[in-house]
Amino acid sequence: MSRHGKPQQRQPLILPDAAPMGGGDGGRGDAATRRRRFVAFLAISVALVASYHHLAPAPASRYHALFVSLGNNDTAAAHLRALTLRPHVAGTEANAVAAEYVRAALSSFSFPTRVTPYSVLLSYPIHRSLSLSVPGRAAAFNFALVQETYPGDPYSEAAAEVIPTYFAYSASGSVAADVVYANYGNTKDYEYLASRGVDVAGKVALVRYGNLHCEDMVRNARAAGAAAAIVYTDAKDFGGAGAKGKRKWFPDARWLPPTGVQVGTLYYGNGDPTTPLWPSCAAGEDCERLSKGELDGSAAMPGIPALPVSARDGEMILKAMGGDAAPTEWQGGEGAPLYRLGPGPAVLNLTYIGNDTLATIENVFAVIEGKEEPDRYVIIGNHRDAWTFGAVDPNSGTAAMLEIAERLSKLEKKGWRPRRTIIVCSWDAEEFALIGSTEWVEDNMDMLASRAIAYLNVDITVFGPGGFRPRATPQLDQLIKEASKMVQDPDDPSQTLYDTMIRHHPPIDRVAGAGTDFAAFLQYIGVPSLDMSYGTISAAVTPLASTNIIALAVEDYPVYHSLYDDYVWMERFGDPLFHRHVALASVWGLIALRLADDEILPLNYVSYASELEKCTKLVEGGCTGCPVSFAPLHKSIDQLRKAANKIHKEKMMLQAENWSLKTRAYTVKVRDINERLMMAERGFINREGLDGRPWYKHMIYASSDQDDWGTKAFPGIVSAIDKANKLNTTESWHLLQHEIYRAARAVSKASAVLDGRLT
Identify whether the C-beta of residue 437 lies closer than 8 Å to the C-beta of residue 425.
yes
DSSP helix/strand/coil, 286 = coil
Strand-pair partners of 142 = 131
Contacts of 335 (CB under 8 A, 6+ apart): 243, 244, 245
Q: Tell me the three-class secondary structure of 525-593, residue by residue.
A: HCCCEEEEEECCEEEECCCCCCCCEEEECCCCCCCCCCCCCCHHHHHHHHCCCCHHHHHHHHHHHHHHH
Is 285 designated active site?
no
Distance, CA of 289 to CA of 280 (rounded, Å): 8
**Rounded to a whole number, what is the largest CA-CA distance in the chain?**
132
CA–CA distances in Å: residue 465 to residues 248, 446, 568: 19, 41, 16
Distance, CA of 312 to CA of 181 (rounded, Å): 16
Query: How far is residue 222 CA from its own chain's centroid?
Result: 28
Alpha carbon dihedral 210, 213, 219, 220, in 10-degree steps, equals -30
DSSP helix/strand/coil, 429 = coil
Contacts of 7 (CB under 8 A, 6+ apart): 1
Identify the CA nearest to 580 among candidates 738, 736, 400: 400
Gap between the terminal Cα atoms of the chain:
46
Q: Which helix (H) or strand (E) holds 397?
A: helix 395-413
Strand-pair partners of 128 = 352
Distance, CA of 430 to CA of 381 (rounded, Å): 12
Query: How far is residue 435 CA from its own chain's centroid?
Result: 13
Which pairing describes strands 529-534 and 468-472: parallel, antiparallel, or unpaired? Answer: antiparallel
Identify the CA nearest to 600 among candidates 508, 751, 478: 478
Query: How far is residue 109 CA from its own chain's centroid?
Result: 25
Q: C-alpha angle 419/422/427, rounded to 5°?
A: 175
Distance, CA of 135 to CA of 344 (rounded, Å): 9
CA–CA distances in Å: residue 676 to residues 124, 680, 750: 46, 6, 9
Q: Exactly one of 406, 430, 439, 620 is catalytic; which is it? A: 430
Distance, CA of 661 to CA of 301 (rounded, Å): 61
Catalytic site positions: 430
